[in-house]
Structure formats: C-alpha cells, structure tokens
Amino acid sequence: MYLQNPFVLIGIGGIVYYLFQRKKLALAQEEWAKTVAENKKKNERDSDGLLLSFKGDIAKMSDEELFKTIKENEEDLLKIKDDKQKQELAKMIEFCANSYNERQKSKKQNKNRR
C-alpha cells in the first residue's frame, strides 16, 4: 500500500541519493586530506631554508645535469628583479655549487687512491 504512493517512492529515492552522495563526499575528503599532507611534506624546509625535496632532486642529478642547472640558474638570477626571489635562487645556486664541488673532490680522491 505504501509502495504504491508516489511520494513514498520519491522519498526513498531521495534518501538513497543522499546516502550515495554522502559516501562520495567522504571518499573525496579523505583523498583531499592525503593530498594536503603530501603537499606539506613536499614544502618542508631545512635549517638553510631550502626545500628538502630540492635537496633530494639535487642528489639524484648527474654531474653534467647539476653543472647545467647551475649555469641556467645563474643566468636566471640576472633576470630576476625581486630581492626575495633573488636571495632564494642564490641559496639554491650556492647549494648546487657546493654539491658539485664535493662530488668533484670525491672523484679526485678516488682517482688518487687507485
């Protein structure tokens, strides 16, 4: 008797739709929370003020890539007008140059040992 009433059927349909959308929103919110946590982790900085992800990328680079990156960043440094961006890029260049010099020293030491 109740299932023949169109208002009851519309009400049941509305409840099912609401529950489906609620579950969908809950899943989207969980994924959003994960994304926010990942972004915070990517934006972590060390005591020098450099991003940890940047340091990881530098460690993965070959010597040729690192040298090329240093040269390109030095050219970009001349083009930048904002002081804060210049300071940040200068820190990055300095870190890259130190990493490159350390790699070259360790290669020379390994050659001398042989």
pLDDT digits 0-9 by tens, 4-37:
888 888 999 999 999 889 888 888 888 887 887 7
Is the Cβ–Cβ distance between 89 and 80 less than 8 Å? yes
Q: What is the pLDDT of residues 61-88, one digit of tens each?
A: 998 999 999 999 999 988 988 888 899 8
pLDDT for position 1: 66
Name every residue whose Cβ is closer than 8 Å to that of residue 100 and which is 6 or more positions away in sequence.
Answer: 63, 66, 67, 70
Quickly list H helices, the chain.
6-42, 52-60, 63-79, 83-113
